[in-house]
């Protein structure tokens, strides 16, 4: 059935905002977008949903979560050492039972939804979060994490990954799947070869943590520092890993594939930016988690100059105090005061859809496509709708099509 949605502002993202705009929805698709006076003759019998106090925009895409770590909220104080932080996450994680993890995942899903997030890029290391996400209203992609440094556990870990993906995948779900070879420093060359062969055979989208910390830079550049000592104590990586950057190492070995999603890139060289551009890699920036770790300033300008697709994530609650996506947007404004707010909203929507390789229609409002929209109520006149969204503190409404399966 056709119906009109009247809005204070429509933000299609791929085109300019439409003040006093309206949409015509027909079952699961947007069939027209413009102004009511221009469209009413075409659809004379369509009822009207009057949302003229709302700004209507695509729901947010949170490209980086570890929902299974949600029970670690407020558990780890940052003391300045990234490797100590990783060890502490590992220690606390081992104490969590499956039930506690799943409760944390469910609560996190509700928090995401409430803050206008309609799609996530989840990294699953326990292989537990997929079912909860697939049964929720969220869309997105769950990346099965793979870590393997020791040759003795290469096959057992790989089989666990393969078997659990086969069990869990739901062909018709709005929650898609991918693989995450965890990071530049947690896979041996043999593990990279094995997992990449699997990824290529199945054509899975891929997410990798790269260039997150100063310690990681030191690890690759100078073969020293506490992260080097920690990893070297588990397994020695070959000499060719060193005297380079994490991204350049992965590229030189052929481990990167076109369109991969690269999480963090808090440290990078000029050569790295060129690699990101040449391979059309997406970069995920996590503003509040970045702040928690006091990483070096994120080189947003450089990435934008090279037209790299940049999207946003919140990372886990082990390094963030909230999953409220509006807080991430406000942190972007604080960290990059000259950045147009329109660009921040684009990173939070359409750029995220591209990074996660989700289907067209999510992350934007497009005629002929299904819709995944949120509405933000604002009773007063609005001068800059993007600013109004970023500083929103009231609850969000959802308008979701069922056609994304
Ligand atoms: Zn992460």
The alpha carbon of 260 and the centre of ligand 1 are apart by a number of angstroms equal to 15
The alpha carbon of 379 and the centre of ligand 1 are apart by a number of angstroms equal to 38
Three-class secondary structure of residue 404 per DSSP:
coil
The alpha carbon of 130 and the centre of ligand 1 are apart by a number of angstroms equal to 16
Query: In this structure, what token pair is assigned to residue 258?
Result: 């076109």
The alpha carbon of 18 and the centre of ligand 1 are apart by a number of angstroms equal to 36
The predicted pLDDT at position 404 comes to: 65
Distance from C-alpha of 225 to C-alpha of 237, rounded to nearest angstrom: 15
Residue-wise pLDDT for 340-349, tens only, equals 999 999 999 9
Distance from C-alpha of 113 to C-alpha of 254, rounded to nearest angstrom: 38
Domain residue spans in the chain? 2-58+363-400, 60-348
Three-class secondary structure of residue 399 per DSSP:
strand
Distance from C-alpha of 211 to C-alpha of 220, rounded to nearest angstrom: 10
The alpha carbon of 159 and the centre of ligand 1 are apart by a number of angstroms equal to 23
What is the Cβ-side half-sphere exposure of residue 386, based on CA atoms within 13 angstroms? 18
The alpha carbon of 1 and the centre of ligand 1 are apart by a number of angstroms equal to 42
Q: Beta-strand (E) ranges in 11-138? A: 18-19, 22-26, 29-34, 48-58, 60-65, 117-124
The alpha carbon of 300 and the centre of ligand 1 are apart by a number of angstroms equal to 19
Query: In this structure, what token pair is assigned to residue 140?
Result: 């997105």
The alpha carbon of 65 and the centre of ligand 1 are apart by a number of angstroms equal to 7
- With beta carbons less than 8 A apart as the criterion, state whether 310 and 61 touch: no
The alpha carbon of 64 and the centre of ligand 1 are apart by a number of angstroms equal to 7
CATH topology of domain 2-58+363-400: Urease, subunit C; domain 1 (2.30.40)
The alpha carbon of 124 and the centre of ligand 1 are apart by a number of angstroms equal to 10
The closest of 245, 127, 134 to 185, measured between CA atoms, is 245
The alpha carbon of 341 and the centre of ligand 1 are apart by a number of angstroms equal to 25
Q: Is the pLDDT score of 403 beyond 90?
A: no
Q: Is the pLDDT score of 297 beyond 70?
A: yes
The alpha carbon of 183 and the centre of ligand 1 are apart by a number of angstroms equal to 9
CA angle 364, 365, 370 (to 5 degrees): 100
The alpha carbon of 381 and the centre of ligand 1 are apart by a number of angstroms equal to 39
Q: 10: pLDDT confidence band, cut at 50, 70 and 90?
A: very high
The alpha carbon of 206 and the centre of ligand 1 are apart by a number of angstroms equal to 13
**Fold identical between 2-58+363-400 and 60-348?**
no
Length of the chain: 405
Looking up tokens 């469910």, which residue turns up?
106
The alpha carbon of 53 and the centre of ligand 1 are apart by a number of angstroms equal to 37
Taking the CB of residue 393, how many other CB atoms lie within 10 A of it?
7
Distance from C-alpha of 246 to C-alpha of 204, rounded to nearest angstrom: 22
Mean pLDDT across the stretch 235-250?
90
The alpha carbon of 38 and the centre of ligand 1 are apart by a number of angstroms equal to 47
The closest of 291, 240, 283 to 264, measured between CA atoms, is 283
The alpha carbon of 385 and the centre of ligand 1 are apart by a number of angstroms equal to 31
Q: How far is CA 375 from CA 109, 205, 230, 250, in A?
A: 19, 30, 47, 41
The closest of 293, 284, 296, 285 to 318, measured between CA atoms, is 293
Query: In this structure, what token pair is assigned to residue 361?
Result: 């229609």
Distance from C-alpha of 18 to C-alpha of 76, rounded to nearest angstrom: 45
Taking the CB of residue 55, how many other CB atoms lie within 10 A of it?
23
Q: 242: pLDDT confidence band, cut at 50, 70 and 90?
A: confident
Distance from C-alpha of 255 to C-alpha of 196, rounded to nearest angstrom: 7
The alpha carbon of 135 and the centre of ligand 1 are apart by a number of angstroms equal to 23
Q: Is the pLDDT score of 135 beyond 90?
A: yes
Residue-wise pLDDT for 356-400, tens only, equals 999 989 999 999 999 999 999 998 999 999 999 999 999 999 999
Beta bridge partners of 65: 122
Query: What does the mean pLDDT of the chain come to?
Result: 95
- With beta carbons less than 8 A apart as the criterion, state whether 281 and 250 touch: no
Distance from C-alpha of 144 to C-alpha of 314, rounded to nearest angstrom: 18
The alpha carbon of 309 and the centre of ligand 1 are apart by a number of angstroms equal to 18
- For 60-348, CATH number out of 1.25.40.10, 3.20.20.140, 3.40.50.300, 2.170.190.11 equals 3.20.20.140
Q: Are strands 396-400 and 372-377 parallel, antiparallel or unpaired?
A: antiparallel
The predicted pLDDT at position 405 comes to: 58
pLDDT over 90 for what percent of the chain?
93
Distance from C-alpha of 302 to C-alpha of 310, rounded to nearest angstrom: 11
The alpha carbon of 263 and the centre of ligand 1 are apart by a number of angstroms equal to 7
The alpha carbon of 85 and the centre of ligand 1 are apart by a number of angstroms equal to 13
Element (H, E) at 3: strand 2-10
DSSP 215-281: HHHHHHHHS-SHHHHHHHHH-PPPGGGSSS-HHHHHHHTT---TT-EEEE--S--HHHHHHHHHTT-
Q: Is the pLDDT score of 214 beyond 80?
A: yes
The alpha carbon of 67 and the centre of ligand 1 are apart by a number of angstroms equal to 10
The alpha carbon of 66 and the centre of ligand 1 are apart by a number of angstroms equal to 6
The alpha carbon of 170 and the centre of ligand 1 are apart by a number of angstroms equal to 24
The alpha carbon of 115 and the centre of ligand 1 are apart by a number of angstroms equal to 20
The predicted pLDDT at position 47 comes to: 97
The alpha carbon of 357 and the centre of ligand 1 are apart by a number of angstroms equal to 18
Rounded to 5 degrees, φ, ψ at 311 are -130, 175
The alpha carbon of 43 and the centre of ligand 1 are apart by a number of angstroms equal to 48
């Amino acid at each position: 059935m056709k119906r009109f949605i009247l809005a204070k502002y429509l933000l299609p993202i791929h085109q300019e905002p439409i003040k006093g705009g309206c949409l015509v929805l027909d079952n699961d698709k947007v069939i027209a977008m413009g102004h009511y006076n221009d469209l009413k003759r075409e659809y004379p019998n369509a009822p009207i949903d009057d949302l003229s106090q709302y700004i209507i925009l695509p729901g947010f895409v949170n490209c980086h979560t570890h929902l299974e770590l949600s029970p670690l909220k407020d558990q780890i104080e940052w003391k300045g050492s990234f490797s100590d932080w990783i060890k502490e996450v590992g220690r606390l994680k081992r104490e969590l039972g499956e039930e506690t993890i799943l409760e944390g995942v469910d609560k996190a899903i509700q928090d995401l939804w409430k803050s206008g997030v309609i799609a996530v890029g989840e990294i699953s290391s326990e292989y537990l979060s997929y079912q909860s996400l697939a049964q929720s209203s969220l869309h997105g992609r769950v990346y099965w994490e793979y870590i393997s440094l020791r040759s003795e556990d290469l096959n057992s870990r790989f089989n666990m990954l393969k078997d659990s993906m086969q069990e869990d995948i739901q062909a018709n779900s709005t929650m898609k799947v991918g693989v995450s070879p965890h990071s530049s420093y947690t896979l041996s060359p043999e593990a990279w070869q094995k997992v990449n062969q699997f990824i290529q055979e199945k054509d899975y989208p891929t997410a990798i943590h790269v260039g997150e910390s100063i310690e990681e830079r030191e690890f690759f550049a100078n073969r020293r520092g506490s992260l080097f000592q920690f990893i070297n104590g588990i397994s020695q990586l070959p000499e060719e890993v060193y005297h380079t950057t994490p991204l350049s190492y992965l590229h030189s070995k052929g481990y990167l594939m076109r369109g991969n999603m690269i999480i963090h890139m808090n440290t990078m060289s000029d050569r790295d930016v060129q690699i990101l551009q040449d391979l059309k890699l997406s970069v995920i920036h996590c503003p509040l988690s970045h702040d928690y770790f006091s990483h070096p300033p994120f080189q947003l300008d450089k990435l934008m100059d090279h037209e790299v697709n940049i999207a946003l994530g919140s990372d886990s609650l082990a390094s963030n105090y909230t999953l409220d996506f509006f807080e991430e947007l406000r942190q972007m404004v604080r960290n990059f005061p000259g950045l147009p707010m329109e660009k921040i909203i684009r990173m939070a929507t359409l750029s995220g859809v591209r990074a996660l390789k989700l289907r067209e229609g999510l992350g934007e409002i497009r005629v002929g496509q299904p819709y995944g929209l949120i509405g933000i109520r604002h009773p007063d006149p609005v001068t800059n709708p993007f600013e109004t969204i970023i500083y929103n503190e009231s609850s969000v409404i959802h308008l979701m099509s069922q056609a994304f399966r």
